[in-house]
Amino acid sequence: MSEKPQPRTGLARIIAAGGYSWAGLVFAIRREAAFRQELVLYLLLLAVLPLLPLPVWSKLALLALNSLVLIVELLNSAIEKVVDLVSPGFHPLAKQAKDLGSAAVFISLLLALSGWLAALIQIWTT
């Protein structure tokens, strides 16, 4: 096990935080299939978004809903990694923690789907 790095301050802390964030995104893209799938969908919907005849606020809301899915998936993946670290064998509480994280992703997907359905209904009825 390696030693914990010394805390940084000021600009060095901000730069290090950016590096940690980038490392997390790279890890998720390389190792997390669900994140990759949701990222592909995110990018496809992002490409469609400017083409829709919607007000800018509706487009921003859809962007926020789509981004929320990725954010929740990253948090779910983090929960899964920590659970695997502290409970390598099967434990009912470990399963519940993973199931709760999965439920959060599911709810964020339903929310994004609802937003897109509402946007499409608005387009079709105007």
pLDDT tens digits along 50-63: 999 999 999 999 99
- How confident is the model over 88-121, as pLDDT tens digits? 999 999 999 999 999 999 999 999 999 999 999 9
Tell me which residue of 115, 124, 125 sits closest to 49, measured CA to CA: 115
Domain-wise residue ranges, the chain: 33-124
73 part of the active site: yes
- Extract the runs of DSSP E, i.e. beta strands, from the chain: none
Q: At the topology level of CATH, where does 33-124 sit?
A: Helix Hairpins (1.10.287)
Catalytic residue among 3, 32, 38, 73: 73
7 backbone dihedrals φ, ψ, rounded to 5° = -65, 145
Is the pTM higher than 0.95? Answer: no
